[in-house]
Amino acid sequence: MIPGPTTVMVLAAGLGTRMRPLTDHRPKALVEVAGRALIDHVLDRLVAGGVTRAVVNVHHFADQMEAHLAERRDLEIVISDERAALLDSGGGIQHARHLLGEAPILVANIDSLWIEGERPALESLKAVWNPERMDVALLLVRRGHGIGFEGPQGFFMDSVGRLTHSDLPDPPTPYANVGFQIIKPQILDGQDGAAFSIVPIWRRLQAQGMVRGAVMDGFWMHVGDPAALEAAEGKLG
């Protein structure tokens, strides 16, 4: 196993509106795929990748989330409480800064699953990470190698792995972010307002050549709605 961050920020506070009616009475993170909650699929991958501590933000049905997470014993779990307001991706991480520390961290979405290829995806991500050359390393998937990469939004990558984000339809982007990344927490400092997206920070850092990518060789599944859930279950058996 390649050394890498042992702390992760798991973004699990969303309302899961696209997953309704499955999220009418539970958080999206607790929707089951192939008999296991989404967040457990994600935490299983992270533990296998060397993570020992997870900071998980909660909002929608937060009590259910806390009760479920209390049952895990294979890693330390700390709750970042967002009951008062949703803070988006960047704001959620910044809200948890006092829990995350100053060392580089993993960041993970709870609706991103995959079937491993020849090399574990998180090992590919850790292999690319170099804090002297980058502030962000994103785990990517090639277009056509997953479920949920239908729109134009994605990334271009140059010969040394530097990324450029684009949401334009032409030319089509060859890579998508699968929702896992390594970041320096300090990139979020100085943001105005409590709620903000991390995407503008990517754009600022990519202009400095500080956003790099690692391409997974497995099959990715973005479980964003009931149709994608059904497709993922078909793949996972």
Confidence of residue 24 (pLDDT cuts 50, 70, 90): confident
C-alpha to C-alpha distances, 217 to 92, 143, 213, 214, nearest whole angstrom: 29, 12, 13, 10
Residue 23 has pLDDT above 90, yes or no: no
Domain range summary for the chain, segments of one domain joined by +: 7-236
131-173 confidence digits (pLDDT tens): 999 999 999 999 888 887 666 678 999 988 999 988 787 888 8
DSSP 8-state assignment for residue 26: S
Confidence of residue 96 (pLDDT cuts 50, 70, 90): very high
User: Which fold would CATH assign to domain 7-236?
Assistant: Spore Coat Polysaccharide Biosynthesis Protein SpsA; Chain A (3.90.550)
Please tell me the predicted confidence (pLDDT) of residue 116. 92
Q: Give the C-alpha separation, 153 to 57, whole Å.
A: 25
The average confidence (pLDDT) of the chain is 91
Q: Give the C-alpha separation, 189 to 96, whole Å.
A: 12
Residues in the chain: 237
Q: Give the C-alpha separation, 161 to 207, whole Å.
A: 14
